[in-house]
Amino acid sequence: MWETPDWHEDAECAKPENLKYSENFYANKPSQQYPALKLCGECPVRRDCALWALNNKQTWGIWGGLTPKKLRRTLSVNWAGQEMRHKRFPLCPGCAAKTSSLQTKVVDRPEGGRWSTMKVVYCTECKFVWQSRTSANAVDAYHSQEEKKNNDD
Ligand code: SF4
Ligand SMILES: [Zn+2]
């Protein structure tokens, strides 16, 4: 099980007066999701929350203003968590910038060890950075496709 992250203390959805909206975070219909998304829009820890969901491959429920559909698209996975390559490319989960604004890079893992590096995706517009192999694959695939298109022209 996950530990509750520190930023949870400042979460809009954790305020007693907002607990009545808890089910809206797990609703499927857009009209029922709306109150949850509204809270995320006012939430001071929205980016921490989105980052936590992406780094933990959490695609059930709304996190950081991202619906399950948007989380799956960002992670480039289907509803079962399996990688979906070359379907719909990720948008920035921080500012909704297009895939063309996303890049990947290899960074050192804070904990070091045998697998001492990892690939992250970052947004060149809002500087949001997250770690997901499947997102990175999709972003790399997007740029290869664009490069190929330019070479064919
Ligand atoms: S961004 Fe949304 S889901 Fe995340 S802590 Fe804030 S209100 Fe809750
Ligand atoms: Zn961005």
For the segment 60-102, what is each residue's pLDDT rounded down to a tens digit?
999 999 999 999 999 999 989 899 876 679 999 999 999 999 9
Q: Taking CB atoms and a 6 Å cutoff, what residues make up the pocket around ligand 1? A: 11-13, 39-40, 43, 45-46, 49, 62-65
Q: The dihedral of CA 88, 36, 94, 137: what is its sign?
A: negative
Residue 1 pLDDT > 60, yes or no? no
What is the position in ligand 1's atom list of the atom closest to the CA of 40?
2
Residue 136 pLDDT > 70, yes or no? yes
pTM of the model: 0.90
**Phi, psi for 130 (deg, rounded to 5):** -140, 165
Note the pLDDT of residue 2.
60
Mean of the pLDDT values across residues 106-120? 82
Q: In this structure, which ligand is nearest to the CA of 92?
A: 2
Which residues on neighbouring strands pair with residue 63, listed in sequence order?
66
Q: Hey, what are 138's tokens?
A: 């999709």
Residue 44 to residues 47, 125, 151, Cα–Cα distance (Å)? 8, 20, 44
